[in-house]
Amino acid sequence: MRQTITEKIFSQHVGRPVYAGEIIRCSIDMIIGNDITTPISIKAFEDLGATKLANPEGFSIVLDHFIPAKDIASANQARISRDFAKKYQLKHFFDEKDMGIEHALLPEKGLIVPGDVIIGADSHTCTHGALGAFSTGMGSTDLAFAMVTGGNWFKVPESIKVVLSGKPGKYTTGKDIILEVIRMIGVDGALYRTLEFTGSTIPFISMDDRFSMCNMAIEAGAKSGIVAYDEITAEFLSDKPLAREPRLHYSDEDATYVQVLEIDVANLEPVIAYPFLPSNGHSLTQAVKDHIKIDQAFIGSCTNGRLSDLKIAAEILKGKRVHPDVRLIVTPGTQRIAREATKAGYMDIIIDAGGVVSNPTCGACLGGYMGILGDNEVAVSTTNRNFVGRMGSRSSKVYLSNSAVAAASAITGYIADPDSIIR
């Protein structure tokens, strides 16, 4: 019986062929915790009476939600992880000294490798599937079990094949592709399944865009998103000290899929997800017609805080000014991204235009800090969720977009087509 890439990754880890629907016990290559979820895992670890980590090299803690601490509670929360990392001499511990949003930082460090099985107590752990790995979010106590045993139980997910065709337009990105997928199938259309991205468009999709696509697989209910290793993956990994030897897997041509989605990317324009669901997708043309006034534009998060996002924002903002009624907040995904953007001149352009640049953090995305929305305020945002109250007040509204649209909208004060700014 032929297999999908996901089935092959699990088969290699288990040591025998496995297929969708099977319940398996599987070793884990990387466990990821953050400043919100890890303290719960640590408590469960200690309650179990554990005195050592099963695989210290395969455990990372990244303080990224409320770092630097926004208040006393977040400072105390971070202290729990710091003390644990020190006690166990954790090699892969990242705080202010080497900052980054976990799903941008760990691939940058070479800690995520093709063929891995990865879990994290964060729903957007599925981001890492962009590197040809199986990566999924779990609960904090599930992490504790893996910390003690080095593995966990999984139900091998069925797969949905997303066949992408055509070359994307200038301002059509991975964010638009995944928003279109979610629009097509809904927020539970891929429940406990893998979204496997394939097709003739893949060679035209950058690594940054692949991360965006896999990042938001969870917004369709998926267990994971995945893109097979290719030359673009190889180029991304080429300058990184990889934690393990890559294990390359590819789906068999006659593998079994529960569904096949086909998207003509060549004719896909940017997609805007209206409040209050990522599945409430509309074309950019429609959004411009709707004349949606905004108070804030946000570019960043684990979905769109990478160098290409800052680059396109700078290209659109160059020589222009943010609208007087709009706040533009830009959050680079990691310190390295921030430094590279600075060297390239992107930061100067953003600041000269009237934008503000924050440290790498998840803060604005979850309505924590660094960009909270007030009552009845409207934002266009490159984040991944637009539920009621997601970025602040329950009466606020969030429209999800790619970075080019967010930058253009910051200038006009309304959701705007980047082409209208560049012309």
Residue with tokens 């680079």: 332
Amino acid, res. 322:
V
- Regarding whether 382 and 306 lie in a shared domain, the answer is yes
Q: What are 353's two structure tokens? A: 């235009």
Residue spans of alpha helices (H) in 18-137: 38-47, 72-87, 102-108
- 105-147 pLDDT per residue, tens: 999 999 999 999 999 999 999 999 999 999 999 999 999 999 9
Q: What is the mean pLDDT of the chain?
A: 96
Residue 314: predicted pLDDT? 97
Q: What tokens appear for 16 in the block?
A: 């025998």
* pTM of the entire predicted model: 0.95
DSSP letter at 52?
A: S
Question: Which residue has tokens 């800052």?
Answer: 310
Question: CA angle, corner 145, sides to 140 and 22, nearest 5?
Answer: 100
- Same domain flag for 403 and 314: yes
pLDDT of residue 9: 98
Judgement on whether residues 258 and 284 belong to the same structural domain of the protein: no
Quick one: 278 and 258 in the same domain? no
Pairing mode, if any, of strands 30-34 and 117-120? parallel
Note whether 210 and 279 are same-domain residues: no
| DSSP structural state of residue 358 | P
Domains: count for the chain: 2
Domain that holds residue 331: 272-422
What tokens were used for 271? 């997609």
Last residue of a domain, one of 215, 245, 263: 263
Considering the domain architecture, whether residues 326 and 183 belong to the same structural domain is answered as: no
**139-148, 261-270, 295-304, 414-423, range with the lowest pLDDT:** 414-423
In angstroms, the CA 390 to CA 366 distance is: 6
Q: Rounded CA gap, 235 and 287, in Å?
A: 36
Question: In this structure, are 20 and 144 located in the same domain?
Answer: yes
Check whether residue 116 and residue 136 sit in a common domain.
yes
The pLDDT value recorded for residue 1 is 74
Query: How far apart are alpha carbons 221 and 5 in whole angstroms?
Result: 19
Listed residues 241, 263, 285: the one ending a domain: 263
In this structure, the answer to whether residues 213 and 294 fall within a common structural domain is: no
- What's the half-sphere exposure (Cβ side, CA atoms, 13 Å) at 90? 23
Q: Specify whether 245 is located in the same domain as 304.
A: no
CATH of the domain at 341: 3.30.499.10
pLDDT of residue 57: 95
Domain edge (last residue) among 225, 241, 263: 263
pLDDT digits (tens, 9 = 90+) for 348-396: 999 999 999 999 999 999 999 999 999 999 999 999 999 999 999 999 9
CA 22 to centroid of chain Cα atoms: 27
Position 310 confidence tier, pLDDT thresholds 50, 70, 90: very high
Same domain, 223 and 340: no
Proportion of the chain above pLDDT 90, given as a percent:
98
pLDDT band at 422 (very low <50, low <70, confident <90, very high): confident
Q: What confidence score (pLDDT) does residue 423 get?
A: 63
Nearest Cα to Cα of residue 294 among 390, 376, 391:
376
Residues 34 and 126 in one domain: yes
Any residues with CB less than 8 A from the CB of 180 and at least 6 apart, and which? 263, 268, 271, 281
| Residue 252 structure tokens | 């068999």
